[in-house]
A and B are shown apart, each in its own frame.
Chain A
């Protein structure tokens, strides 16, 4: 038999079974994330091709629209939420009780909501300034790329809520831990994408 242990969360004290079961599921989730990465990759490429004078079509550009202060806050909130998400997983790993894990997940949700709220406020201000997605190709691709990341975050918030419910109902089941592990991967992945957006869209846009 090949080694089937999955590093990270220990999924059950005595049953190696849980590990064997988790292996294909977690691997499948990684494959999904890689495919999602292609999705973002294409939007990044589209953004890059439209971040030109032609792509802005005489409309407003980064210098008039971006609010780096808000972006910095968003980045901070999202990175902190990754930390709390990791702490939730550690709480399960070290059996600190499902209450602790739920607490960290709630913190994750709050930080995620803060991120989303700030992002929506920026969108609102841009639209108020006439920078709507139908103004130019550049704005179309900006809203598509950043918006898709925002949608992923929203889906993640729903998922976190479901995880809280599951931790409450069936905290000891291997399936619950497996799902927590996947949620963690997903959430950290979104962090990574955000770093890409921060560098390519905001920092490069104002450079």
Chain B
């Protein structure tokens, strides 16, 4: 199911890429608002590409959401109670629940638009009873929850990073969990703030404006919790921490401008000005993008077995912070000066200096992006020195650091019993971090399958065929989907699952434990040196 979700997301992305070469992509803005995107005003294929990329990728996202919910609810290790889960798992859970409820609206509204365009239905047209406000409502019923679907996992990453790199237990764990849940719920009650100006009454606007402002409260709780986690911690300024510093300052500004926009009377002035553009880039880049980059640096050694180079990484992070600030902060000023969004050229002299600064900032961002690839390149070249096969390069706190890096296909050789929120720290403290299990068991694993790839290709072709009205091809590729699912249902169980014998697991696990017994642990000061091979010296928590 994981593979199929990824396959469908890829199919949506592939369709978008194809549109760059054959035809045109979304000519109706990123929200694809009708009636402009209806068949009357946009006869071209731009909106169609948009619709089918979104629908196909959306089904993939929905399946991921279901998958994560079920895995987290039903497949936890013994002892892993909900309130012992790492915060990243909590935020992923809340995001996944939101996906389950937010994806259907966008799928439905897109398909309704497709019916309007292809079969002449009248959901959102100007004539015969159509109502475009239905589109705006349904779209943003997905659209606003979506921004929190993006940022919640990042919040989780920040939580893990804050506590690991200050070697302290996460401050205010329960309040962080509650804040996450509160955000997930309130995010569904604010969608109307995206169209305050579209003519509903002032009292409706006020209700949604207040709901919007309320969201800032749990978000504020989180920022304070993270700061308190760092307070008096044993902080190492690693790459993720540099990103986190940028995030703290910049994201807070972004959140505050959101609260400003939440006031309908202010929004009437700055809606669709570059003030809004500054707002959402301000939350998306320092909030989500920095979070993803920090998360990549943090978990990269777990996945690939070697760390990323710190020196180039830190430089990249600073370039991102500086580049972002130069590019987007001037847009707040420009927005207040009245510069509308999506402006191809202007004659207003007052805009000049700010636009120049922003343009220069864009170059810095380009440099940051380049340096990101340089970091990757340098690290791959030096992977020998950077390798951390023993699995725990950052004196980690949660159990993923208690297994080798890269993680074996079966992850844990024996399923651990969880006793503490920072279980690995508790084990290290008790000197039981690497106790060999008494016995090993066979592990059942799914066999590799072509299902994801098949569905990915079929859906890409289907999307393409529908966009260009090649109906027979659309039908053929669609039929492949149920056909391959049915084929799989009839496969005998032995062809779907494989068993890794206990002896294989045991041999690999014992070799790793032997290497640990012979290795020297590194102190936190040495984490950035070649001596770090993934075993942390016991240093305890800061007082």
Task: Kindly state the separation between the CA atoms of A38 and B482 in the bound complex, as whole angstroms.
Answer: 23
B128: chain A residues within 8 A (beta carbon): 57, 59, 134-137
**B346 CB–A CB distance under 8 Å:** no
Q: Give residues of chain A (152-183) contacting chain B, Cβ–Cβ below 8 Å.
A: 158, 162, 165-166, 169-170, 173, 175, 179
Most buried by B among A43, A54, A135, A140: A140
Task: Kindly state the separation between the CA atoms of A59 and B108 in the bound complex, as whole angstroms.
Answer: 25
B222 to chain A, nearest CB (A): 27
**A56 CB–B CB distance under 8 Å:** yes
State whether A138 and B129 are in contact (beta carbons under 8 Å apart), knowing that A34-B100, A43-B108 are contacts in the complex. yes
Chain B residue with Cβ nearest A38:
B104
State whether A137 and B129 are in contact (beta carbons under 8 Å apart), knowing that A39-B107, A158-B482 are contacts in the complex. yes
**B121 CB–A CB distance under 8 Å:** yes
**B189 CB–A CB distance under 8 Å:** no
Partner of B131, one of A1, A137, A166, A169: A137
B410 to chain A, nearest CB (A): 17
Q: Which of B69-77, B373-381, B430-438 contacts A (4 or more CB under 8 A)?
A: B69-77
Partner of B493, one of A24, A43, A133, A175: A175
Task: Kindly state the separation between the CA atoms of A22 and B407 in the bound complex, as whole angstroms.
Answer: 27
State whether A27 and B73 are in contact (beta carbons under 8 Å apart), knowing that A35-B103, A46-B123, A166-B489 are contacts in the complex. yes
A139: chain B residues within 8 A (beta carbon): 122
**A28 CB–B CB distance under 8 Å:** yes
The dominant DSSP class at the B interface is: helix
A61 to chain B, nearest CB (A): 12
Q: Give residues of chain A (12-70) contacting chain B, Cβ–Cβ below 8 Å.
A: 23-24, 27-28, 31-32, 34-36, 38-39, 42-43, 46, 49-50, 52, 54-57, 59
**B101 CB–A CB distance under 8 Å:** yes
Q: Give residues of chain B (130-152) contacting chain A, Cβ–Cβ below 8 Å.
A: 130-131, 134, 138, 141
Chain A residue with Cβ nearest B137:
A45
B67: chain A residues within 8 A (beta carbon): 28
B486: chain A residues within 8 A (beta carbon): 162
Whether the Cβ atoms of B119 and A134 lie closer than 8 Å is yes
Chain A residue with Cβ nearest B70:
A28
**A10 CB–B CB distance under 8 Å:** no
Whether the Cβ atoms of A32 and B66 lie closer than 8 Å is yes
State whether A42 and B105 are in contact (beta carbons under 8 Å apart), knowing that A27-B73, A31-B69 are contacts in the complex. yes
A36: chain B residues within 8 A (beta carbon): 104
Chain B residue with Cβ nearest A4:
B74
Task: Kindly state the separation between the CA atoms of A158 and B130 in the bound complex, as whole angstroms.
Answer: 34
**A141 CB–B CB distance under 8 Å:** yes
The dominant DSSP class at the A interface is: helix
- Chain B contact residue count (CB 8 A cutoff): 42
A28: chain B residues within 8 A (beta carbon): 66-67, 69-70
**A144 CB–B CB distance under 8 Å:** yes
Whether the Cβ atoms of B70 and A27 lie closer than 8 Å is yes
B127: chain A residues within 8 A (beta carbon): 57
Whether the Cβ atoms of A136 and B129 lie closer than 8 Å is yes
**B416 CB–A CB distance under 8 Å:** no
A165: chain B residues within 8 A (beta carbon): 490
Q: Give residues of chain B (333-369) contacting chain A, Cβ–Cβ below 8 Å.
A: none
Against B, the Cβ 8 Å flags (1 = close, 0 = not) of A129-152 are: 000011111111101100000000
State whether A50 and B131 are in contact (beta carbons under 8 Å apart), knowing that A42-B108, A169-B490 are contacts in the complex. yes
**B237 CB–A CB distance under 8 Å:** no
Whether the Cβ atoms of B104 and A39 lie closer than 8 Å is yes
A11 to chain B, nearest CB (A): 14
Task: Kindly state the separation between the CA atoms of A166 and B129 in the bound complex, as whole angstroms.
Answer: 48
Task: Kindly state the separation between the CA atoms of A35 and B104 in the bound complex, as whole angstroms.
Answer: 7
Q: Give residues of chain B (43-78) contacting chain A, Cβ–Cβ below 8 Å.
A: 62, 65-67, 69-71, 73-75, 78
Chain A residue with Cβ nearest B121:
A140
Whether the Cβ atoms of A31 and B121 lie closer than 8 Å is no
Task: Kindly state the separation between the CA atoms of A179 and B75 in the bound complex, as whole angstroms.
Answer: 20
Whether the Cβ atoms of A46 and B130 lie closer than 8 Å is no
Partner of A173, one of B69, B122, B493: B493
State whether A39 and B129 are in contact (beta carbons under 8 Å apart), knowing that A31-B69, A31-B100, A173-B493 are contacts in the complex. no
Whether the Cβ atoms of A31 and B129 lie closer than 8 Å is no
B414 to chain A, nearest CB (A): 16
Task: Kindly state the separation between the CA atoms of A54 and B128 in the bound complex, as whole angstroms.
Answer: 8
State whether A133 and B100 are in contact (beta carbons under 8 Å apart), knowing that A28-B67, A158-B482 are contacts in the complex. no
B475 to chain A, nearest CB (A): 14
State whether A46 and B134 are in contact (beta carbons under 8 Å apart), knowing that A24-B74, A133-B121, A140-B123 are contacts in the complex. yes
B73: chain A residues within 8 A (beta carbon): 27
**B530 CB–A CB distance under 8 Å:** no
Chain B residue with Cβ nearest A23:
B74
Q: Give residues of chain B (292-346) contacting chain A, Cβ–Cβ below 8 Å.
A: none
B75: chain A residues within 8 A (beta carbon): 24
Binding site for B on A (CB under 8 A): 1, 23-24, 27-28, 31-32, 34-36, 38-39, 42-43, 46, 49-50, 52, 54-57, 59, 133-141, 143-144, 158, 162, 165-166, 169-170, 173, 175, 179
Q: Which 5 A-B pairs have the closest CB atoms?
A: A137-B129, A134-B120, A140-B121, A57-B129, A28-B70
Binding site for A on B (CB under 8 A): 62, 65-67, 69-71, 73-75, 78, 100-101, 103-105, 107-109, 112, 115-116, 119-123, 125, 127-131, 134, 138, 141, 482, 486, 489-490, 492-493
Kindly list 13 other residue pairs between chains A and B, CB separation below 8 angstroms, not including A59-B128, A140-B123.
A28-B69, A32-B66, A42-B108, A50-B131, A57-B129, A133-B119, A137-B125, A137-B128, A139-B122, A140-B130, A144-B123, A158-B482, A166-B489
Interface CB pairs A-B, < 8 A, 23: A27-B70, A27-B74, A28-B67, A31-B70, A35-B101, A39-B108, A42-B105, A42-B108, A42-B138, A43-B108, A46-B123, A46-B138, A50-B129, A54-B129, A57-B127, A133-B120, A137-B130, A139-B122, A140-B116, A143-B121, A165-B490, A170-B492, A173-B493
